[in-house]
Amino acid sequence: MKRNPNIIPLSRDHHFGLLCSWKIREGLKKNISPGRISDYLIYFWSTHLKTHFEEEEQLLFTNTDDPLTAQALKEHQHLRLLMERIKENAEESLLAEFAALLQEHIRFEERVLFPHLEKSLSEAELVSIGAELDRIHQHQTDDYKDEFWR
């Protein structure tokens, strides 16, 4: 899918989010302890996902009257709440729910929301978003050492 070059960094982040979901599911399939999986998820959240959500919310999701943007914001909030629950108690069911919701959310953003925003935002707005992402965005790497999913 062709993506406006100004928001490509956010789409690239989505690749790592999908990998996170896959790793959680693989860990659960292999009966890895929920604590070990949640350690990875807490790492991924604090080093990547939390900042990604903030960038999207501050730069892309500014029109909160838009129903698609409102849906994305609601999903971000649901994922934040799940993350807090996982930090308190790493249950398999919560990890599975997080992995499923994160995957669904990313698919929604890539297939529905981002194409919608590319049409509804002006080129000047997209260029401004791209410039700000160039200034603040950290490119993600996946260098977590405990490869429990293998």
DSSP string, the chain: ----GGGHHHHHHHHHHHHHHHHHHHHHHTT--HHHHHHHHHHHIIIIIHHHHHHIIIII---TTSHHHHHHHHHHHHHHHHHHHHHH---HHHHHHHHHHHHHHHHHIIIIIHHHHHHHS-HHHHHHHHHHHHHHPPPP----S--TT-
CA angle 93, 109, 37 (to 5 degrees): 30
* pTM score: 0.93
Q: What is the pLDDT of residue 42?
A: 97
Distance, CA of 9 to CA of 29 (rounded, Å): 31
Distance, CA of 21 to CA of 93 (rounded, Å): 13
Q: What is the pLDDT of residue 139?
A: 81
Q: What is the pLDDT of residue 64?
A: 81
Domain range list for the chain: 5-136
Q: What is the pLDDT of residue 2?
A: 86
Q: What is the pLDDT of residue 1?
A: 65
pLDDT along the chain (150 residues), means of 10: 91 95 98 97 96 96 92 98 97 98 98 96 95 90 88
**Burial of residue 64 (number of CB atoms within 10 Å: 0-12, 13-18, 19+):** exposed
CA angle 11, 103, 98 (to 5 degrees): 125
